């Protein structure tokens, strides 16, 4: 399951997490974000033992979006031990996200 978090929760849920966290930076008006959401749910369920999956609305969390230089939506990043890894911006499909995750060691 993809859990929606707020800007106030980001540090606790993502940066202090004991296992990796896949973060989906999105906005509710973003068509590509809406199209990718079902695929992210499948990815989250399939990989729940390996990493947690959360999403954060950058319109409601502008400081977090700026801190991580989010300029395109959706943007995904895996955070490990409080640090973000490489990004993938505007992935077109579940297959593209799966391939990117393989490159992240999953």
Q: If you ran DSSP here, which 8-state letter would residue 2 be given?
A: P
Question: Could you tell me whether strands 21-26 and 3-5 are parallel, antiparallel, or unpaired per DSSP bridges?
Answer: unpaired
Residues annotated as catalytic (active site), given as ranges: 30, 33
Phi-psi region of 81 (alpha: psi -120 to 50; beta: other; left: phi over 0): left
Residue (of 102, 85, 92) closest to 32 by Cα position: 92
Helix, strand, coil share of the chain (percent; to 5): 40, 25, 35
């Amino acid at each position: 399951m993809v859990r929606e978090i707020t800007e106030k929760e980001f540090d606790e849920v993502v940066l202090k997490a004991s296992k990796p966290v896949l973060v989906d930076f999105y906005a509710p008006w973003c068509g590509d974000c809406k199209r990718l959401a079902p695929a992210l749910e499948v990815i989250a369920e399939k990989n729940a033992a390996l990493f947690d999956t959360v999403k954060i609305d950058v319109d409601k969390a502008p400081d977090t979006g700026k801190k991580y230089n989010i300029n395109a939506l959706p943007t995904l990043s895996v955070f490990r031990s409080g640090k973000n890894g490489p990004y993938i911006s505007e992935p077109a499909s579940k297959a593209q996200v799966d391939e990117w995750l393989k490159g992240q060691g999953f």
